[in-house]
Chains A and B, each alone.
Chain A
Amino acid sequence: MTDTDRGTQRDRNSAFYLFTQQNLPACKPVLTPEWVFMTFLFIGFIFIPVGLVTLRASHSVVEIVERYDIGCVPEPFRINKVSYIQDDSIPKNCSLSFKVPKYMKAPIYIYYQLDNYYQNHRRYVKSRSDKQLLHGQNQHGISSCQPVEVNNDRPIIPCGLIAWSLFNDTFTFIRNRAELKVNRKNIAWKSDREHKFGKNVYPFNFQNGTLIGGGKLNPRIPLSDQEDLIVWMRTSALPSFRKLYGRIEKDLDVDDVVVVHLMNNYNTYSFGGKKKLVLSTTSWLGGKNDFLGLAYVFIGSSSVTIAVVFTLLHLLSHRH
């Protein structure tokens, strides 16, 4: 008798017994007025400083944005820009200049920005073959590249719409009549270069068809070194996007005048897309991003407001 009693007694304290009887030790936090006040105040006291720090970082970034798609079309062609861009006989070179508004510390990142360009369209996103990019010609499985998979019965490397529509405007920068060297290495993700684009895969049969899309590729350079292509093939999430073009590794001073010589090859005119050239420094946060800081400050201050209003309400209601 006593043995079994003791046995059940022990069982009753076992974790399994407590579990089946839904009696496991538990913490039961309760949102008492004090906790509410403390929580909201705490959120406020974290968010406002973070927001301010973020804003400061964002303000430290210097950014120059120059739109060039209209300016680079000669006056007579402005009525029909599409025919201008599609006519190979017309030279596409163009230049623009701007003044540096603030001291820019190296590295200065150069971006091109396209608007109204649906790199995230399902047809576009799917039209690539990761296998081919890594392993090259002897691999099958390029059916996903429709409608740009073969030309003259021979596979295209790299296949697919994305590669076919490669961005091909080029920029050279001149300051004080001296060319600013643009470093175009290491603009793509390291993992992409090393693991997703083959070192032994060379462009083949590319842009040879009747339809010429975007830029051409040097067939002697393996895909893993074609960083423009690698950057381009990281499709953007939104129809307006920036992509890294290169880096200027020299500081630019205030009031420096920079002249850009560019080849305006890429057709955004048929769908009314804008093209912009962007020079920007970065902070620990990345580019210029006031929104994040503002959002933090906003959330933080509304949280503090809630805490105060809540306390007032609480005190008032207790007086009754």
Chain B
Amino acid sequence: MTRGRIRARLRLSHLYTFACTRPEATEEGPHSIEGPGYSRIVHCNQPLMHKKKPFKYRSNYISTTKYNLFTFLPKALYEQFHRVANLYFLSAAIVSVTPLSPFSAVSMIAPLVFVVGLSMAKEALEDWRRFMQDIKVNSRKVKFHKEEGVFDYKSWKKLQVGDVVKVEKDQFFPADLLLLSSSYEDGICYVETMNLDGETNLKVKRALEVTLPLDEDASFKNFTGKIKCEDPNPSLYTFIGNFEYDHEIYALDPSQILLRDSKLRNTAFVYGVVIFTGHDSKVMQNATKSPSKRSRIERKMDYIIYVLFSLLLVISLVSSIGFAVKTKFDMPDWWYLQPQNTDDYYDPRKPVLSGVTHLITALMLYGYLIPISLYVSIEVVKVLQATFINQDIQMYDEETGNPAQARTSNLNEELGQVDTILSDKTGTLTCNQMDFLKCSIAGTAYGMSSSEVELAAAQQMASDLEDQDVERSTDFRQKGKQQEIELETVVISEDEMVHKSPIKGFSFEDSRVMEGNWLNEPNADVIMLFFRILAICHTAVPELNEETGSYTYESESPDEAAFLVAAREFGFEFCKRTQSSVFVRERYSASGQTIEREFKLLNMLEFTSKRKRMTVIVRDEDGQILVLCKGADSIIFDRLSKNGRLYEEDTTRHLNEYGEAGLRTLALAYKRLGESEYSAWNNEFQEAKTTIGPDRDLMLENIAEMMERDLILVGATAVEDKLQKGVPQCIDKLAQAGLKIWVLTGDKVETAINIGYACSLLRQGMKQICITEISSDAKEVVKENILLQMTNASQMIKLERDPHAAFALIIDGKTLAYALEDDVKQQFLVLAVQCASVICCRVSPKQKALVTRLVKEGTGKTTLAIGDGANDVGMIKEADIGVGISGVEGMQAVMASDFSIAQFRFLERLLVVHGHWCYKRIAQMVCYFFYKNIAFGLTLFYFEAFAGFSGQSIYDDWYMLLFNVLLTSLPVISLGVFEQDVSSEVCLQFPAVYQQGPKNLFFDWYKILGWMGNGLYSSLIIFFLNIIIFYDQAFREEGQTASMPALGTTMFTCIIWALNCQIAFTMSHFTWIQHLFIWGSIATWYLFLFVYGRLSPSISGNAYQILVEALAPAPIYWLATLLVTIACNLPYLAHISYQRCFHPLDHHIIQEIKYYKKDVEDQRMWTRERSRARERTMIGFSARVDAKIRQLKGKLQRKQPSSEIHSPARSS
């Protein structure tokens, strides 16, 4: 509070020239607001008016849940029975109550209840979490005007349109507000919109002049007003409305609107009137519904279910027609069935009726083709897989203590099929912390520390060159070449020693300028000027930290803070700002004498994204007037005077180096000004400032332009936008795994491009395609122009001959709005897909979601969106997989996500290891499941043909029941949970193996039909071999022939063996668990048969003593089992042997190398294979290194003819 008071004396708006200066009178007059879309009327400070129609608007209560208490059951049930399979099981369960069922009702209903219940419980739990989150938000408290100038607290959800609220520092705005006044005299306030657009720099909002007097609680006693404005809409950057106050009408624009979910910063308090509440607010309008996501495999499974269902229908029809025919024509002759005494089911006189009823029986009997147990098993497997993801210690962040979390287990296997990653920038790729790293002063580069990108690239380059040396030594003989290349790397890796300085925002290291040593440098005066520019040219406010006695700085952008920290460390400590002066404590040497200097602030021409520069005009203590300017290098270089270009060449070289190293750069310049020169200019400037009319901005700009001319270059700064740990490596690996990475950010174009460099998404030599809009009023013209730009770009890509050429597409939010329109978006998508990297800047949350949808639907491939803030919620929900970063920011992103990880770098392991595994596991498991049920189910059908299609099963009911529950379930689950084609380390070393997922090698129709064919083959073998062997002959030495139970049990034994051996052949990774489950299942079958046979015959029926007495002593039983098992698996075995040896897949080769331990014995081969197993990439620093090597090679070839001795004297 007190701090706020102190600062409240400042009229900060006087500092600003462009953003906040306001013409003294309303120059435009009120907006003409008529017609549809502008119906909202807000009676300020009269919330009672909004209690009833027509001014009753939605309350400020928000709900993000999918269900409520009453809709849960119908809605969730609808979701569940949306699945074809569940619907089928439901009908089966209904029929099972009738006598038509060949099985008992419980055996049909119980699994259905289990599956549906489990899924619904999961849904309910997730929704409950959302509900709790809503409650938390809804019950936040805010101060509102109660009556008679008294303010009191009430919870957010009770807030009403028209309420006057008082929001204090670092609080969130509870609704969309009209700013009336703030603790600053001139009614400005700072707002952080992190949750809306991900931008971290502060935005300035200002109140209308007329409402400025309303700056204390009491003044609201008699305040009334009326706002007429647009209806609720999702556009964050527009607002049109009129404010009627004191019989005058004033126009409102976005700079008076405080949006819900943004935060008040650097301002003690503001007063505002609620305009949009709850779901009407802009941020909620941006919210997209949380969809129920289903994985690709699961969706495809539906089609398989259709196929199987058709098969089921066909064989049921065959069966029932067969039955009807048999009943009509043959049954009258079968006296032993007493055909004359039958009920309807077997009546030869009514074959159609018996056929129809038999159809239902058959549908249930062959129901094994559509395995409900598959759904149960998949649920179980996915939950276990999710547990493994949660437990993975290598995705556990020790700093925050956050493990990775699979928040839904539906999408595990989808992680293995991702094609495009759409990533947020701030908080996801970067920490949102700037570090002053290097600078170039007077043409000399200072700063020894390396950026993370340099370090990562150097490491990569060193290891890559090692590999390539090995290969190249055979190709090239000249040693000189290698030396040359090695030298390049040494230059970079020299700096590898890093001592991270403990000062936040300052990683600079160079003894030449630190500790006052700069005084001994040749250009000491220029260096001093450089530091002064850093300390003076900004808009920040210092804050004394009373504990440490040092200053911290609150600035609009983190860059400025980094500059000020740097200046402080160099001995130029910015310590005080008054209305007209900036005070800097200057310390010239290590001895520590400090002089406090005052710089009179004459004018400030602040930074805007259009100007890309900032200038202050100050008068120093000697009366000298200085123009200090910092800005984008291209802008500054254009404005240098002839004699100011002394250092231009060197500085440019340094700037290029910095850019290549992924740093954000600014150039600094100055000029001295004579008194008369200044006053002439200032007069003009003041005049322009007070002009009224539409030309005012233009005039101001022109006059500012005049001042920012003939500058003298001082140097340049390089600031590292600190990437999160491991981001470049992670992006490189993901690129090698063949993933495309798009960056969608709310940040400025320049920032985004810088980060693009830092992450190696962009590099030197990459062709950047910038699509921008021309400023024109006519929408059609703009659109036409954008279309033209895109056509040209596509043409350019088409005509490109260089195979290594890479393109980057950069587009900003406004242009994107056009590009996303229905008639343009296809072309945009085509262009974007051709580019190696795509960066979208200044995009709103809604646009993020739209881009995500465009990629998802346009390419038909799996998309993954990753982000950390509330502004990413839309795209997280929209993408096939949403990943939230559970970092420092709020929990909204995590709440909306399907997976949450603590750091971006964990994404690599999540996708490349877990995704790959889960995809393969589920794919193989589902395929095997269909195989197993076809192999089993069809034997039932074949038997029908031998039993007059009567619906008799050859197996005991218990066998059938246990088949899916006990005898074959655990091996499948172990396949689904524990299978690893290659170990996690190998997955990471061979990222290209990941491509098996996006290419869907393990769940395409070829594979699925192959497995189904295998099932068909197995069923034929199992049935007919057994039938022929046990046809009519005695099967024992004692002369007994095989009865139905004996044959059925033998056949079932064969099934158990064949299926379990099949799964053993499918697996490639056996821990004791797999062994236990597979061989245990077989053992369980014999054990069950033994125990079941021992039970009283009233329970076991025909199976009484069958193993001990009848089958086990008969050698033919064992021989048949062996024969059938081998015969079933022989073709599969031959197939995989053939495939492995002659058409091996990636993982086959790796497995073989590992098996022969070649990775240990033959390191060289291992590394060669590794470098081959990369997807050809255009992005990531591997690609950067490759490009560099190509460049070097080119250089060498040019040098070759001269055949000089390359001097290795390269040090800098």
CB distance from B557 to the nearest CB of A (A): 41
Known contacts A303-B1130, A317-B1142; is-contact A147 B342 (Cβ 8 Å): yes
Please give me the residue from chain A that is nearest to B1030 by CB atom. Answer: A237
Q: Specify which chain A residues have a CB less than 8 angstroms from the CB of B1155 in the assembled complex.
A: 28, 30, 32
User: Are A286 and B1037 in touch, CB under 8 angstroms?
Assistant: yes
Q: CA–CA, A226 to B383, complex, Å?
A: 57
Is A191 located at the chain interface by the 8 A CB criterion? Answer: yes
Contact partner of B947 (CB less than 8 A), chosen from A121, A134, A192, A288, is: A121
Please provide the chain A residues from 100 to 116 with a CB less than 8 Å away from any CB of chain B in the complex.
107, 109, 111, 113
Q: Name which of B18-26, B837-845, B1111-1119, B1171-1179 contacts chain A.
A: B1111-1119
* Chain A residues bordering chain B, tally (CB within 8 A): 90
Q: Specify which chain B residues have a CB less than 8 angstroms from the CB of A113 in the assembled complex.
A: 1032
Contact partner of A131 (CB less than 8 A), chosen from B335, B984, B1037, B1098, is: B1098
Q: Name B's interface SS.
A: helix
Is A73 located at the chain interface by the 8 A CB criterion? Answer: no
Please provide the chain A residues from 219 to 239 with a CB less than 8 Å away from any CB of chain B in the complex.
234-239
User: Are A148 and B1104 in touch, CB under 8 angstroms?
Assistant: no
Please give me the residue from chain A that is nearest to B1114 by CB atom. Answer: A286
Q: Specify which chain A residues have a CB less than 8 angstroms from the CB of B946 in the assembled complex.
A: 120, 237-239
Is A39 located at the chain interface by the 8 A CB criterion? Answer: yes
Is A264 located at the chain interface by the 8 A CB criterion? Answer: no
CB distance from B330 to the nearest CB of A (A): 7
Q: Name which of B111-119, B820-828, B1041-1049 contacts chain A.
A: B1041-1049
Is B308 located at the chain interface by the 8 A CB criterion? Answer: no
Q: CA–CA, A247 to B1073, complex, Å?
A: 51
**Interface digits, A268-307 against B, CB 8 Å rule (1 contact, 0 not)?**
0011100000001011111111011001100100110010
**Interface digits, A63-101 against B, CB 8 Å rule (1 contact, 0 not)?**
000000000000000000000000000000000000000
Is B589 located at the chain interface by the 8 A CB criterion? Answer: no
User: Are B1033 and A122 in touch, CB under 8 angstroms?
Assistant: no
Is A178 located at the chain interface by the 8 A CB criterion? Answer: no
Q: CA–CA, A147 to B1115, complex, Å?
A: 40
Please give me the residue from chain A that is nearest to B984 by CB atom. Answer: A22
Q: Specify which chain B residues have a CB less than 8 angstroms from the CB of A317 in the assembled complex.
A: 1141-1142
Q: Specify which chain B residues have a CB less than 8 angstroms from the CB of A36 in the assembled complex.
A: 1137, 1140-1141
Q: Specify which chain B residues have a CB less than 8 angstroms from the CB of A43 in the assembled complex.
A: 1126, 1130
User: Are B1044 and A147 in touch, CB under 8 angstroms?
Assistant: no
CB distance from A120 to the nearest CB of B (A): 4
Q: CA–CA, A161 to B337, complex, Å?
A: 7
Is B1038 located at the chain interface by the 8 A CB criterion? Answer: yes
Is A176 located at the chain interface by the 8 A CB criterion? Answer: no
User: Are A238 and B1127 in touch, CB under 8 angstroms?
Assistant: no
How many pairs of A and B residues are in contact by the CB < 8 Å rule?
249
Please give me the residue from chain B that is nearest to A235 by CB atom. Answer: B1044
Please give me the residue from chain A that is nearest to B1153 by CB atom. Answer: A30
User: Are A282 and B1025 in touch, CB under 8 angstroms?
Assistant: no
Q: How large is the interface on B (under 10, 10 to 19, 20 to 34, 35 or more residues)?
A: 35 or more
Q: Specify which chain B residues have a CB less than 8 angstroms from the CB of A190 in the assembled complex.
A: 1109
Q: CA–CA, A137 to B388, complex, Å?
A: 61
Q: CA–CA, A214 to B338, complex, Å?
A: 12
User: Are B337 and A121 in touch, CB under 8 angstroms?
Assistant: yes
Q: Specify which chain A residues have a CB less than 8 angstroms from the CB of B1154 in the assembled complex.
A: 28, 30
User: Are A240 and B1036 in touch, CB under 8 angstroms?
Assistant: no
Q: Specify which chain B residues have a CB less than 8 angstroms from the CB of A47 in the assembled complex.
A: 1123, 1126
Q: CA–CA, A236 to B1101, complex, Å?
A: 15
Output the residue of A39, A211, A236, A302 with the most chain B CB within 10 A: A236
Q: CA–CA, A26 to B980, complex, Å?
A: 10
Is B89 located at the chain interface by the 8 A CB criterion? Answer: no
User: Are B1104 and A211 in touch, CB under 8 angstroms?
Assistant: no
Known contacts A121-B952, A189-B1110, A313-B1142; is-contact A282 B1041 (Cβ 8 Å): no
CB distance from B1018 to the nearest CB of A (A): 14
User: Are B1033 and A22 in touch, CB under 8 angstroms?
Assistant: no
Output the residue of A32, A239, A286 with the most chain B CB within 10 A: A286
Please provide the chain A residues from 1 to 46 with a CB less than 8 Å away from any CB of chain B in the complex.
20-33, 36, 39-40, 43
Is B1151 located at the chain interface by the 8 A CB criterion? Answer: yes
Q: Specify which chain A residues have a CB less than 8 angstroms from the CB of B1119 in the assembled complex.
A: 50, 54, 285, 292, 296
Please give me the residue from chain B that is nearest to A192 by CB atom. Answer: B1104
User: Are B1043 and A237 in touch, CB under 8 angstroms?
Assistant: yes
User: Are B338 and A161 in touch, CB under 8 angstroms?
Assistant: yes
Q: CA–CA, A271 to B948, complex, Å?
A: 13
CB distance from A195 to the nearest CB of B (A): 5
Q: CA–CA, A134 to B980, complex, Å?
A: 54
Is A171 located at the chain interface by the 8 A CB criterion? Answer: no
Q: CA–CA, A191 to B1106, complex, Å?
A: 9
Is B1134 located at the chain interface by the 8 A CB criterion? Answer: yes
Is A118 located at the chain interface by the 8 A CB criterion? Answer: yes
Is A267 located at the chain interface by the 8 A CB criterion? Answer: yes
Q: Specify which chain A residues have a CB less than 8 angstroms from the CB of B698 in the assembled complex.
A: none
27 A-B pairs (CB sep. < 8 Å)? A20-B393, A25-B1071, A26-B1071, A30-B1151, A32-B1155, A36-B1137, A47-B1126, A107-B1039, A111-B1041, A118-B334, A118-B947, A119-B1044, A121-B947, A122-B952, A124-B336, A125-B952, A131-B1098, A147-B342, A148-B338, A161-B336, A191-B1104, A239-B946, A241-B1032, A282-B1037, A287-B1035, A292-B1029, A292-B1120
Closest 9 CB pairs of A and B: A287-B1033, A109-B1039, A165-B336, A122-B950, A287-B1034, A122-B952, A234-B1043, A191-B1105, A271-B333
> Which residues from chain A sit less than 8 Å from chain B, CB to CB?
20-33, 36, 39-40, 43, 47, 50, 54, 107, 109, 111, 113, 117-125, 130-131, 134, 146-148, 161, 164-165, 187, 189-192, 195-196, 211, 213-214, 234-244, 247, 267, 270-272, 280, 282-289, 291-292, 295-296, 299, 302-303, 306, 310, 313-314, 317
Q: Given A26-B1069, A187-B1039, output 8 extra A-B contacts at Cβ < 8 Å.
A: A23-B984, A27-B1070, A28-B1155, A30-B1068, A121-B334, A270-B335, A286-B1036, A296-B1123
